[in-house]
Chains A and B, each alone.
Chain A
């Protein structure tokens, strides 16, 4: 079974990413269960998507210590969910910190660097992605999810190859967005 956890801040596009993984798994004839955060937390709160693919899956939520890969759209969110990562698992993390309003109000210095430092010490296979740079090169902030998925696919821990990801993009995303998303895959 493949266990994947996606986490970030409401509005970053975790839901579409989890759907693409699920579609690709179903194409291979696997069963899929996923679980999403929908509702009040979507307004700038922490969001988590659980994705499981394989056979005889009971729970749609991952047990702790079982994730093959954590795909984090934000450094602090990767750390917040680290307990889900299995021993020797992979973490793909976007470098850029999202500063919450509360941090600005109290003048907190949170910039994500401490979180990245923690990940470097505790994760065997860590891949830090400069999502901003890829988004800028593709000309859209909306390709962040695809860039992170591509980095996860390249790590080999996603249970989905880069080719399978490209095929899922072509099949599941409207045609006018194919080019920028496929470019994000190359750049990741």
Chain B
């Protein structure tokens, strides 16, 4: 064993390797991405199979096939990815697995980098699956190994849900020095087991309902479900909120019982009863949904216990957003009558706001600008999607009118178009998102003869999550070179009436292509192909000629590039940020920007 400084996600990955995982699949998504990347980094001998799948549904099915064959499988995604994977997940809960299978779905309270504040613990209840909820990286390292054991013991897939602060928190973790993959038997045919039919589903459902109370009892003695302290008042908590609670209790001298729930489904009822016995009041400190709070309320009802349960449902704890040490202190100062000492500072001066923006040199800025120019003076709606290019929504580009979920740009545009067919409907989709869930939407538009203009923002990577390869890049997570899947060929094959690839950094060519596409019937596509600045080297930088500049600020007003700033009322290009994309030089009306 040795001490290593690991991010929670790295600890989860190493834990899975040390549990003998054979097959790892997933789709990138903050805060889960580094788990699969860490597996790939530690796979020099290629003893584990690891892939970025096309989307979460594909990833989960690859994992299920491996687990049917007796292999240990890990599938990783963020919480909204679990929605995409929910079809196979719900059925797999009934079918079960042979080799241990753990599905990591990372939740994002806040949300910090997500569309929803959904709670995977709830999804576990819905799908009837066990779920683990770690509090610290070192705990996650051991807990994921427990999850594989439990999965194999009960023949069920198991969910594992860390939250952002556990995923992206680092700690010194004691880890084993070597690992060896599990030796799977291979797929053994068994129709009754592997083919889902209504009759077998009924029988399997009965088995699950019989199993869950036993599983809950088994988990009541699980090492990371912990009951400590004494007194008439109790705190029930979980995950990172447990860390905040301990921090808030430290040195306070307050007397209370503390219940930490690490396996919220099936709920460890026996342990919860032990906690509730003799208490007057309980406060549940949770992030996302009031899962523990509702379980405790149910147990009190079932066992006729006169314990008052506080939490999100009665407004004691904030209903949404992240908890912090401070938010927990606010709750506990009331509940346990603790007086905390505050350090006060005078009100600060007004500070600049810093919303995230497209990077300087980002080709998406050029693509949005070219489309904006091409659509000028026409009635147009711009449907966007998930990725860096959601940031095209910000001023001054203002080119994202809708954003819902992965792949929805193409189909939302169709719905909007059906209501007002005289509107130009543009949809923007990134390359990775196109493969993940855009293709179906394009086929839908072609089949149903909807006039839309599809703009594919192809920057040859999955940029927002940290530059992962995808089917269009020609490399895999095993390090192999493969045939890159051509977006242009796909669009031609499904019957788009116009498909053209242009370099968006050549603004006039890009604008001309969009104009040509806009006036045709059918599904038209312009592929804006230019690599993300993070995967290329900067070109020769630009600067503004002070003599020629007339100070009109058009470059600032129209592009919003972070490299162009005002100095004494005049635009200047900040050298450390410029990437040499040259878009500002094409926008300047007096040719004052050059190399």
Contacts and interface: CB of A to CB of B under 8 A. Distances in A.
Interface of A: 9-10, 19, 22-23, 26, 31-46, 58-65, 76, 79-80, 82-83, 85-87, 99-105, 107-108, 110, 114-115, 117-118, 121-122, 141
Contacts of A26: 3, 5, 172
A76 B325 contact: no
A11 B250 CA distance: 35
Given A44-B356, A63-B326, A105 B557 contact: yes
B243 interface: yes
A101 B357 contact: yes
Give the dominant DSSP class at A's interface.
mixed
Contacts of B31: 38-39
B131 to A, nearest CB: 22
B352 A40 contact: no
Contact of A108 (B169, B341, B352): B352
A59 B244 contact: yes
Contacts, number: 159
A80 B351 contact: yes
A44 B357 contact: yes
A19, A64, A117: residue with the most chain B Cβ atoms closer than 10 Å: A64
Interface string B554-567: 00110011101110
A31 B171 contact: yes
Given A22-B5, A99-B566, A9 B354 contact: yes
B391 interface: yes
Contacts of B353: 100, 102
Contacts of B3: 26
Interface of B: 3, 5, 7, 30-31, 112-113, 165, 168-172, 240, 243-244, 246-248, 250, 324-326, 329, 341-343, 345-346, 348-349, 351-359, 388, 391, 394-396, 464, 556-557, 560-562, 564-566, 569, 571, 576
Contact of A99 (B170, B346, B352): B352
A29 B578 CA distance: 43
Given A59-B243, A79-B348, A33 B564 contact: no
A79 B352 CA distance: 11
A38 B356 contact: no
Contacts of A105: 395-396, 556-557, 560
B165 A61 contact: yes
Given A26-B3, A65-B342, A110 B348 contact: no
A86 B562 CA distance: 34
Nearest to A123: B345
A101 B562 contact: yes
A77 to B, nearest CB: 8
B352 A110 contact: yes
A59 B325 contact: yes
Nearest to B33: A38
Contacts of A32: 5, 170-172
Contacts of A118: 348-349
B561 A60 contact: no
Nearest to A63: B325
B354 A60 contact: no
